């Protein structure tokens, strides 16, 4: 299906993605992975939760780790421009037939919680607690030296439907993959903040979270992380890469946390600020789509993802098959 034109005057103003809440089975194991190995900074912790931020971030957190009996994803969070946008967002989601609720989140104040039509749990806020800058406190840098959270990628059973819905919210498509046989969209990358994406949708059993991504300074930081992980007990957590995507041009590495949640380490994509930026189309069978150098992704990358709390999944409407590594 054709990619819809951008909605330049959306019903409310999303600035960017903000945070994700992961349910984890072993809080100590997750702390060792995200703090000691990746290098995220703890901003608050107790016996049930750990809040983390990356080195350039002034907001209180970009990841919440919550102790649970099983691994899942509780929420995906987005920052809005100003306080009236919260009420506008609630009104809009109600017109779409979606449930809404107001809650007070620690370190965030007034928060709107809702879902998209497929059940993805979303929350929106305006003002998170601001912390002192640590971007130039280089003694704190360790692991892969994560600078900021960059994007979410979701498995979707209906990518064309997801693109249409999120376009209405003001997300603009930068690149997409089309199945030539059906003309349907197999994957799409959509942004608010002027990079390649804040959120992406990949054809598959969904909704599930495929991965969250962190921006790092250079590809060499990824090499350093690989050396660290391979010698500190995390070799089996390395899933795919390093490599360079055809889509987005980004240098990447995919790893798995102790609960199996997939994390991408990411840098070197491009600017998409212009509102008339034209989406780039890729064919599903193009081997350079996944990796510019031609190496296909492993089967796990297309089949495994994190469940959202209490959300049922559906098989994809599109049955097209990408190139998969043997």
Q: What is the pLDDT of residues 233-258, one digit of tens each?
A: 999 999 999 999 999 999 999 999 99
133-149: average pLDDT? 98
**Which of 34, 98, 24 lies closest to 62 in space, CA to CA?**
34
Distance, in Å, from the CA atom of 89 to the CA atom of 10, rounded to the nearest integer, reads 10
211-237: average pLDDT? 97
Q: What is the pLDDT of residue 10?
A: 98
Residues 6+ apart with CB under 8 A from 104: 110, 111
Q: What is the pLDDT of residue 326?
A: 79
Q: Record the tokens describing residue 214, joined without a space.
A: 């962190």
| % residues pLDDT > 70 (the chain) | 100
Q: Which long-range contacts (CB under 8 A, 24 or more apart) does 95-103 make?
A: 96/165
Total-model pTM: 0.97
Count of H-run helices and E-run strands, the chain: 6, 18
DSSP state string for 29-80: HHHIIIIIII-PEEEEE-SSEEEEE-TT--BS-SEEEEE-SS-EEEEEEEEE
What letter would DSSP give residue 297? Answer: B
155-167: average pLDDT? 98
Q: What is the pLDDT of residue 211?
A: 98
C-beta of residue 250 within 8 angstroms of C-beta of residue 266 = yes
Rounded to 5 degrees, what are φ and ψ at 31?
Answer: -60, -45
Q: Show the CA angle centred on residue 162, arms to residues 267 and 189, nearest 5°.
A: 20
Q: What is the pLDDT of residue 103?
A: 96
53-71: average pLDDT? 97
Does the pLDDT of residue 1 top 80, yes or no?
no
In the three-class reduction of DSSP (H, G, I as helix; E, B as strand; rest coil), residue 227 is classed as: helix
Q: What is the pLDDT of residue 249?
A: 96
Q: What is the pLDDT of residue 2?
A: 87
CATH 3.10.180.10 domain range(s) in the chain: 14-130, 144-307
Q: Which CATH number fits domain 144-307: 3.40.50.720, 2.120.10.30, 3.10.180.10, 1.20.1300.10?
A: 3.10.180.10
Q: Which helix (H) or strand (E) holds 302?
A: helix 299-303
Q: Give 207: exposed, middle or buried? Use CB within 10 Å, 0-12, 13-18, 19+.
A: buried
Q: Which CATH number fits domain 14-130: 3.10.180.10, 2.160.10.10, 3.40.50.11890, 3.40.50.300?
A: 3.10.180.10
pLDDT per residue over 85-128, tens digit each?
999 999 999 999 999 999 999 999 899 999 999 999 999 999 99
pLDDT bin (cut points 50, 70, 90) of residue 67 is very high
């Amino acid at each position: 299906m054709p990619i819809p034109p951008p909605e330049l005057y959306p019903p409310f103003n999303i600035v960017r993605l903000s945070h994700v809440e992961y349910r984890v089975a072993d809080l100590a194991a997750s702390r060792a992975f995200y703090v000691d190995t990746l290098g995220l900074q703890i901003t608050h912790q107790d016996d049930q939760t750990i809040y983390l931020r990356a080195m350039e971030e002034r907001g209180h957190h970009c990841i919440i780790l919550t102790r649970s009996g099983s691994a899942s994803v509780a929420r995906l969070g987005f920052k809005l421009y100003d306080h009236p946008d919260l009420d506008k967002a609630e009104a809009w989601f109600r017109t779409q037939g979606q449930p809404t609720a107001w809650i007070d989140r620690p370190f965030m104040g007034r928060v709107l919680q809702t879902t998209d039509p497929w059940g993805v749990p979303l929350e929106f806020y305006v003002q998170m607690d601001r912390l002192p800058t640590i971007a130039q406190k280089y003694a704190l840098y360790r692991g892969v030296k994560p600078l900021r959270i960059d994007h979410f990628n979701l498995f979707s059973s209906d990518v064309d439907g997801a693109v249409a819905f999120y376009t209405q919210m003001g997300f603009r498509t930068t690149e997409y993959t089309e199945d030539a046989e059906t003309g349907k969209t197999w994957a799409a990358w959509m942004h608010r903040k002027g990079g390649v994406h804040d959120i992406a949708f990949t054809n598959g059993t969904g909704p599930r979270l495929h991965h969250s991504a962190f921006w790092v300074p250079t590809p060499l930081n990824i090499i350093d992380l690989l050396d660290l992980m391979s010698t500190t007990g995390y070799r089996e957590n390395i899933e795919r890469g390093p490599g360079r995507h055809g889509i987005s041009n980004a240098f990447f590495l995919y790893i798995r946390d102790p609960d199996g949640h997939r994390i991408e380490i990411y840098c070197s994509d491009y600017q998409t600020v212009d509102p008339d930026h034209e989406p780039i189309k890729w064919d599903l069978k193009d081997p350079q789509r996944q990796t510019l150098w031609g190496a296909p992704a492993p089967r796990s990358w297309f089949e495994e993802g994190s469940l959202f709390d209490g959300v049922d999944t559906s098989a994809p409407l599109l049955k097209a098959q990408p190139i998969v590594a043997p």
